Structure 1
């Protein structure tokens, strides 16, 4: 299952966004208002929970400066990645798109598609808060 957020233009340099997204503590600023829990569990991982959803632990998997940050599920039960693609438009402007890629059975995919789509759209829309 592959979902993508709309592309969002942010008045920040690609390097600034890359560094901000590389610090997992900054993801708290991007979370939707329905967040029930956010806890940094290490230099490269955090747990978050949205109301009515199970808690998810994300871990930094890969960083390609200044254009890409890849987070992945820390658990093998729900294998997925959340990738932030950063495209520099000018010295002080960048475009960001989040992409969610998960390997789920059709029933699970059907259940989580709506909430995950909304979640990554919210993360992208909040990029200006970094």
Structure 2
């Protein structure tokens, strides 16, 4: 299953956005209002939970400054990645898009498609306000 957030325009350079997203603690500022837990476990790993959902541990897996950050599931039953892509559109303006990719059985995919789509959309749309 592959999902993408809308592209969000941010009045910052790709480097500024990349540096912000590289610090896992900054993801707390991007989380939706219904977050029930957020905890940094290490410099590249954090755990979060939304009300009514199980805890998810994300780990920074790969970085390509200043355009790509890949976070992936760290343990648990579900294997997926969350990729942040940053493209410069003009000096000091960039577009950010988050992409979610995971291999799920059809029943699981049907159940989580809506909540995951809303989640990555919220993360992306919160980026301009968090910077």
TM-score norm. by structure 2 comes to: 0.97
1:47 and 2:33 correspond: no
Q: Provide closer, same or farther for how the CA distance between residues 76 and 50 of structure 1 changes in structure 2, counting only shifts above 3 A.
A: closer
Q: In the alignment, what sits opposite 2:17?
A: 17
**Paired position in structure 2 for 1:127:** 127
In 1: Cα distance, 2:89 partner to 2:63 partner: 20
Aligned runs of 1:58-69 on 2, under 5 Å? 58-69=58-69
Q: How many residues align?
A: 130
Deviation at 1:76, TM superposition (A): 5.2
How far apart, CA to CA, are the structure 1 residues paired with 2:63 and 2:6?
A: 21
Q: Which residue of 1 aligns with 2:117?
A: 117
1:102 and 2:116 aligned: no
- Give the whole-Å Cα distance in 2 for the aligned partners of 1:75 and 1:105: 18
Q: Over residues 72-97 of structure 1, what are the superposed CA-to-partner deviations in whole Å (9 max), with x where a residue is unaligned?
A: 00015200000000001122110000
Any unmatched runs of 5+ in structure 1? none
The equivalent residue for 2:38 is 38
Runs of 4+ in 1 over 6 A off after TM superposition: none
Which residue is equivalent to 1:71? 71
In 1, the alpha carbon distance for the partners of 2:88 and 2:64 equals 14
Deviations 1:99-129 (A, max 9, x none): 0000111111110000000000000000111
